[in-house]
Amino acid sequence: MRSSSTTRFLVSLTVAAGAAVGGSVGAAVATPAPTARQAAVTQVGVRLTIVENLGLDTSEAEYLQDWLARYWGYPGELDGRLDTESWKALQRFLGAKWGCTGPIDATVGTETVKALQRRRKVHESYHGPIDGIAGESTRAAFKRFAAPKS
């Protein structure tokens, strides 16, 4: 029977030999935790790829993108995914016509939602409060706005 110090020595030696030839032999390799800056960069990267259709299906979002391309400078493809450029174009429309005072930044925030609610309230499909919350009735009204017209 081997002593525990002999066993530890043999395990350490095996791990060292494995590491020397480029592999690991059951040893966990410690990696440093990401710094706050690295984490922030990762979060920004994720934020830019988020698509927020606000309850619209693909055909409704495509219809909206087509309308935005014709009238509000949407430069992207008609792919049914309301991405950064889609929301910037919609924010230009909402700022010009419906009192959206927030920045043109593609963030579907309180000011963007309030402007959508104002627009839909005037055009009869929203009966809720102008509160900036994209709840069920706001999403339903937005869906009616983006429904393809025949």
* pLDDT tens for the 150 residues of the chain, in order: 545 554 454 444 444 444 444 444 444 445 455 555 554 444 444 444 467 899 999 999 999 999 999 999 999 999 999 999 999 999 999 999 998 988 999 999 999 999 999 999 898 788 999 999 999 999 999 999 898 876
CA-based nearest residue to 63, from 50, 75, 78: 78
- pLDDT at position 47 is 41
Report the SS3 class of residue 20. Answer: helix
CA 20 to chain centre: 43
CA 7 to chain centre: 52
- pLDDT at position 81 is 94
- pLDDT at position 48 is 45
- pLDDT at position 118 is 92
Distance between CA atoms of 137 and 69, rounded to whole angstroms?
26
Q: What is the CA radius of gyration of the chain?
A: 27
Distance between CA atoms of 126 and 116, rounded to whole angstroms?
9
Can you give the pTM of this predicted structure? 0.64
